[in-house]
Amino acid sequence: MLTCIGSPLLDIVVHVDREFLIRHGLEPDAAHAADGETLFNELQDLNAAYVCGGSVTNSVRVLKWLQPEARVVYIGAIGADTEGDFLIKKLTSVECDFQVDEIRRTGRCAVLVDGPTRTLYTDLGASTSLNLSHLQRPETLKKLNLTKFVYFSAFLLRASKEYVDFLLDSGKQILFNLGAAFLCDLYPIEMTRIIKKSKVIFGNELELRAVGKMIKLYADDCKELGGQVYKSLCEIDQILVITRGERSALVFAKQQMKEFAVEQVNNVVDTNGAGDAFVGGFLSNFIVNSPLEECMRLFAAGEIVQNVGCTFSNIS
């Protein structure tokens, strides 16, 4: 059994032009915090696609796609609104244990696609209201006690450091996603502690460099830097996984590095959620004790980029 804690969001995927981004003061291919309703209101007049979003949400859906029989509990926070109802209906294959915020609305992320660029405009909304009291409810604690693995992203630190501390002290195997490079600047002590206590750590090259900077390691070569970070922060039984987009993925385990090629995909529609899909694929194998080589199959990410958002060709 796997318990995941994340930020359920409604992804609003829409194709825009560069003038749209300039008009709203958005840097292309970057993530931005929403500062009002103007942009979201404008999207209502465009041909937008609405899909489940949030990094952990995406990984959970991919995991259940690949391992339909796996028992997965997903803990998060949503608003008491139609967007929250939409997410629950789309996540029927997962045991959702959502805290409902009666004041704030469900989090939203505008995914603005302009050719090869993908610009994110996010209102985290109710997702940041998740608190420890929800986790400590008898019915939620019962689920946590039954689970072997707990997966969460560093973004959980923005909701509750106490929540993270509780999970680290729970005795469960922690599977941790670095989340975003800037989190290493905001929470260096907390990030270091989580990495040291995690069984598996996921990140991309930018996030690896942020971890390196956090502990004063600055090697230019990603493979060299990954080895240094692993040696500095990880024990021999931990696994550090670094994705690099279209380039090979790197795994550091048992004081060794292995490199895994990424199969080229010709029909790339949208890269939104590709990294999350890879994590979901990894977890789907890891929780059933598959060999590392099987966990590193990158098929799920290749399937995702051929669809709009983190969706699949054969299911909604």
Question: Hey, which bits of the chain come out as E strands?
Answer: 2-5, 9-15, 31-33, 49-53, 72-79, 95-101, 107-114, 117-123, 149-153, 173-177, 200-204, 239-243, 249-253, 256-260
- Residue 222: C-alpha distances to residues 12, 218, 229, 245 (Å): 33, 10, 10, 13
Domain contains 256:
no
Contact 180, 202 (CB under 8 A): no
CATH number of the domain enclosing 105: 3.40.1190.20
Domain contains 104:
yes
Residue type (1 letter), 243: T
Nearest to 273 by CA among 52, 33, 50: 52
Number of domains present in the structure of the chain: 1
Q: Please give the pLDDT value at position 302.
A: 52
Residue type (1 letter), 193: R
Domain contains 283:
no
297 contacts: CB under 8 Å, gap ≥ 6? 281, 285
Domain contains 187:
no
Nearest to 74 by CA among 153, 192, 133, 14: 153
Contact 223, 250 (CB under 8 A): yes
Tens of pLDDT along the chain (316 residues) come to 999 999 999 999 999 999 999 999 999 988 888 999 999 999 999 999 999 999 999 999 989 988 999 999 999 999 999 999 999 999 999 999 999 999 999 999 999 999 878 899 999 999 999 999 999 999 999 999 999 999 999 999 988 899 999 999 999 999 999 998 999 999 999 999 999 999 999 999 999 999 999 999 999 999 999 999 999 999 999 999 999 877 888 999 998 999 988 766 566 555 556 788 889 999 999 999 999 988 887 654 455 455 555 555 554 4
Contact 184, 199 (CB under 8 A): no
Q: Please give the pLDDT value at position 31.
A: 82
Domain contains 209:
no
Domain contains 296:
no
- Distance of alpha carbon 122 from alpha carbon 34, whole angstroms: 5
Domain contains 21:
yes
Residue type (1 letter), 276: D
Q: Please give the pLDDT value at position 247.
A: 81
| Radius of gyration of the chain measured on its C-alpha atoms | 19
The pair of structure tokens assigned to 87 is 């997410």
Domain contains 297:
no
| CA angle 77–82–84, rounded 5-degree value | 20
Nearest to 11 by CA among 272, 249, 275: 272
Tell me, yes or no, if the pTM score tops 0.95: no
Q: Is 205 exposed, middle or buried (0-12, 13-18, 19+ CB in 10 A)?
A: middle
Q: Please give the pLDDT value at position 301.
A: 47
Residue type (1 letter), 144: L
Contact 127, 8 (CB under 8 A): yes
Contact 266, 279 (CB under 8 A): no
Expressed as residue numbers, the domain containing 166 is: 1-175
- Distance of alpha carbon 80 from alpha carbon 287, whole angstroms: 33
